[in-house]
Chain A
């Protein structure tokens, strides 16, 4: 078939965008589960869950959309990542399922409420940790033979990936706490203001270690960063600047800025990571072009995605608009 467009680049953009949307959006609601044990009391926990109740499952649609798109557009990623991260993928799914069901039933429960609350908490932490470990595993790269993963079951689990796992738990908690600053008031907001600097410090420690480690995984990344001045240095600088804004705006008791700046930390770190690895999507061997599916398959699905993504975005915006403003005790009524 005549290849009029470089669909592989377009698909890399779509998947990249979807993944970022997922991390930012599910991040703040997973964060509620992570913050849960530290919440001052049961009433605060109700408010925390209520602050994300209208939007959390819409947030998770981005994960499913990204996963499905990955199989269609970059099957090699799908067929290497999933076997390599076999146990991690299971933990993530189990965590997300438990958490999702806990969400539904906690609102319908009276006597068994605390049971669902703890499922929500543990599920959120496990799922976040697993996602962070995936990021670490991506940085490390995968052992492959032909077009299949050839390493062991727990190759992904190294001190580094444990570290990135814990890092993402801290990061999601930070998204969660700054979301609470934005959406709540009184006791819960005060709690969020107090815990945010601690989470920020934790995240920055991870940020530093990942930044130092990543260039040493392979020489091409090292060259990209250290072979003279380059524009990509702007990305970590921006991420650090955003971190400073979070710190400063919390100190000034600003309500919206901490959340916006935290999203900035995630965005610039994410772009920095992509800039390091580009165009490798299954490091160390395969680029996005090696991993791409057939042109006509990419084209066939692109039509559907171009139709559905605007609808999902519109619906998402509408939901956030409907539930704008502060969440009151006991919900939005």
Chain B
């Protein structure tokens, strides 16, 4: 069998990016959560907020540490596997990705150390300021990354001369047509992720009757956030979808599983899209609903995949189902938010074991939803690397062979499995240690090392708690 370097490179990038994405999406929201706890602690002086903050700072430190490591690999992959793409877009992507690195370094050098290690060494106001700056910094980092990604979806402000893009307008290229929607959608996703993880972990502590008073406070806030953010995300997602319809109609056609441009298109709840037959099997849908959602008119026209040749169609099955997973989980989050509200109004938010256990399970849901969302937007762009301008095949490293790509694919899978299973195993230990361990004075035989995020956690990796 001939090994295809294109497929293998795409699998490799997807694997690395999926592994990586779950960490920053959590840290961005968690940084704001910590800043929130610190603000409450500063304003009220209630020591419970500080206990909560101490615990979640440890979680943050570990997740941040893993995310930085997996991010480094990505920055090299552009060059190793997609050198034609890197070269062509370097005038834009180079500075934009470098600014992300600069933001991260500035953040780490100036504020992260104070947040992680400075609690007893600087005035509380300074510590709070550091927490707010770290939260702001994570957003600025994602600003640059999403600008880079959005440009690949909706390129603007560039001019192609002799196979290399030149930036004609920095504002047009950075604030390209899909950027604002993507930034809002991802920002909310990060907050939702933090809210659901905090809710799930706090619920688990409440069930176990550990530090109940503090964890009830955290759970309560998380549920308020969920109540506001989950419906808001549905609205923002809808706007994002309309933007995609305007600029990348084939992505929307794949999301809807719509093969032919037509009016009064149904919203499919279930179908098995078949690209070879160019149709769906076993369709179940709500009549005219897709037309209404996308055009706000029951008989509106929705573009179909038949507008382009089969080679230019995205992988319909993957996009169609990833979209349904994302939306389905989003609806489930709204349902949990409402369930929580009803329980709260009855004064039983902390008593329903069924609900609390449900929240524990739901704490994984934002990660799956985020990955599914990225699959929709990235696979939906296929076969384009830069929408309408450069295909995956054109962007690939010309000298890359299938064997080379396979070698590093297997290599990254092994490295990531070993390294990150240790990381996640350790994270679970920190969770099990809970607020008690995070607030306990730690043994001093471990030397304090500034700027090393993991040092903020004081749990042993191989000892039973």
Chain A residues engaging chain B, CB cutoff 8 angstroms: 50, 53-54, 57-58, 61, 64-65, 67-69, 71-73, 75-76, 78-84, 86-87, 89-90, 93-94, 96-98, 100-101, 104-105, 107-112, 145, 147-153, 293-294, 296-297, 300-301, 304-305, 307-308, 311-312, 315, 319, 322, 330-333
Name which of B109, B163, B445 has the most chain A CB atoms within 10 A of its CB.
Answer: B109
Q: How far is the CB of B409 from chain A (nearest CB, A)?
A: 10
> For A58, A79, A293, A308, which residue has the most chain B Cβ atoms within 10 angstroms?
A79
Please judge, given known A-B contacts A68-B75, A300-B95, A300-B170, whether A54 and B449 are in contact too, CB under 8 Å. Answer: yes
A-B contact pairs, 15 of them (CB 8 A): A68-B101, A71-B86, A72-B94, A82-B76, A83-B83, A87-B404, A111-B462, A148-B398, A149-B83, A153-B403, A294-B166, A297-B90, A304-B102, A308-B106, A312-B109
* A311 engages B447 (CB within 8 Å): no
Which of the listed residues B98, B99, B398 has the most CB atoms from chain A within 10 Å of its own CB? B98
Interfacial residues of chain B within 430-465, with CB under 8 A of chain A in the complex: 444-452, 454-455, 457, 459-463
Shortest beta-carbon distance from B145 to chain A in Å? 13
Given contacts A84-B399, A148-B87, whether A297 and B80 have CB atoms under 8 Å apart is no
Query: What residues on A are CB-neighbors of B93 within 8 Å?
Result: 71
Q: B284 on the interface (CB 8 Å rule)?
A: no
Tell whether B400 is near chain A: CB-to-CB under 8 Å: yes
Complex CA gap A185/B461 in Å reads 30
Inter-chain contact A54/B450, CB cutoff 8 Å? yes
Contact between chains at A150 and B399 (CB < 8 Å): yes
Q: How many A-B residue pairs have CB under 8 A?
A: 209
Q: Given A87-B407, A90-B408, A112-B461, does the pair A297, B92 have CB atoms closer than 8 Å?
A: yes
Nearest CB in chain A to that of B170: its residue: A300
Q: Distance (Å) between the CB of A252 and the closest chain B CB? A: 32
Q: Is B287 an interface residue, CB under 8 A from the partner?
A: no
Give the contact stretch, choosing among B19-27, B275-283, B415-423: B415-423
Which single member of A68, A71, A86, A319 contacts B80 (CB below 8 Å)?
A86
Q: What are the residues of chain A within 8 A of B400 when measuring CB–CB?
A: 83, 86
Q: Which chain A positions have C-beta within 8 A of B450?
A: 54, 319, 322
Q: Which residues of chain B in 354-404 are interfacial with respect to chain A, using CB atoms and an 8 Å cutoff?
A: 397-401, 403-404
Q: Quick check: B97 and A71 within 8 Å, CB to CB?
A: yes
User: Any chain A CB within 8 A of the CB of B84?
Assistant: yes
Contact assessment for B452 and A93 in the assembled complex, using a CB-CB cutoff below 8 Å: no
- How many of chain B's residues have a CB under 8 angstroms from any CB in A? 66
Contact call B401/A153, Cβ cutoff below 8 A: yes
Given contacts A64-B101, A105-B426, A153-B401, contact A94 B87 (CB under 8 A): no
Say yes or no: B79 contacts A83, CB within 8 Å.
yes
In the docked arrangement, what's the CA distance between A149 and B461, Å?
44
Residues of B within 8 A of A (CB): 65, 69, 72-73, 75-76, 78-80, 83-84, 86-87, 90-95, 97-99, 101-102, 105-106, 109-110, 163, 166-167, 170, 397-401, 403-404, 407-408, 411-412, 415, 418-419, 422-423, 426, 444-452, 454-455, 457, 459-463
CA distance A307 to B398 in the complex (A): 37
Q: For A69, give the chain B residue with the smallest CB separation.
A: B98
9 additional A-B residue pairs with CB within 8 Å, beyond A98-B415, A308-B102, A332-B448:
A65-B105, A78-B94, A82-B80, A82-B83, A101-B422, A149-B83, A149-B399, A300-B95, A301-B99
Tell me if B98 and A153 are in contact (CB < 8 A).
no
Given A107, A301, A315, which contacts B109 in the complex, CB threshold below 8 Å? A315
Using Cβ atoms and an 8 Å threshold, which residues of chain A touch B97?
68, 71-72
Contact A86 B95 (CB under 8 A): no
- Chain B contacts of A108 at CB under 8 A? 426, 446, 454, 457, 459-462
Q: Report chain B residues within 8 Å CB of A300.
A: 95, 167, 170
B72 pairs with A93, CB closer than 8 A: yes
Bound complex: CA of A311 vs CA of B448, how far in Å? 22
Contact partners of B412 in chain A: CB under 8 A: 90
How far is A110 from B429 in the complex, measured between Cα atoms in Å?
A: 15
Contact B461 A105 (CB under 8 A): yes
A134–B87 Cα gap in the complex (Å)? Answer: 20
- Asked if A294 and B459 make an inter-chain contact with CB atoms under 8 angstroms apart, the answer reads no
A118 CB to nearest chain B CB (Å): 13
With CB as the reference atom, state the residue of chain B lying closest to A78: B79
Identify A293's interface contact among B69, B91, B109, B415, CB under 8 A.
Answer: B91
> Across the interface, which residues of A come within 8 angstroms of B102, CB to CB?
304-305, 307-308
Q: Top 10 nearest A-B pairs by Cβ distance?
A: A72-B94, A75-B90, A82-B79, A331-B447, A79-B87, A79-B83, A301-B95, A68-B98, A315-B109, A104-B454
Chain A nearest Cβ from B196, distance in angstroms: 27
For A75, list chain B residues within 8 Å (CB): 86-87, 90-91, 94
Contact of B451 with A319 in the complex, beta carbons under 8 Å: yes
Give the contacting residue for A153; candidates B78, B99, B404, B459; CB below 8 A: B404
Whole-angstrom CA separation of A73 from B411 in the bound complex: 30
Chain B residue contacts of A112, Cβ below 8 A: 461-462
Whether A152 touches B446, Cβ cut-off 8 Å, given contacts A75-B90, A311-B110, is no
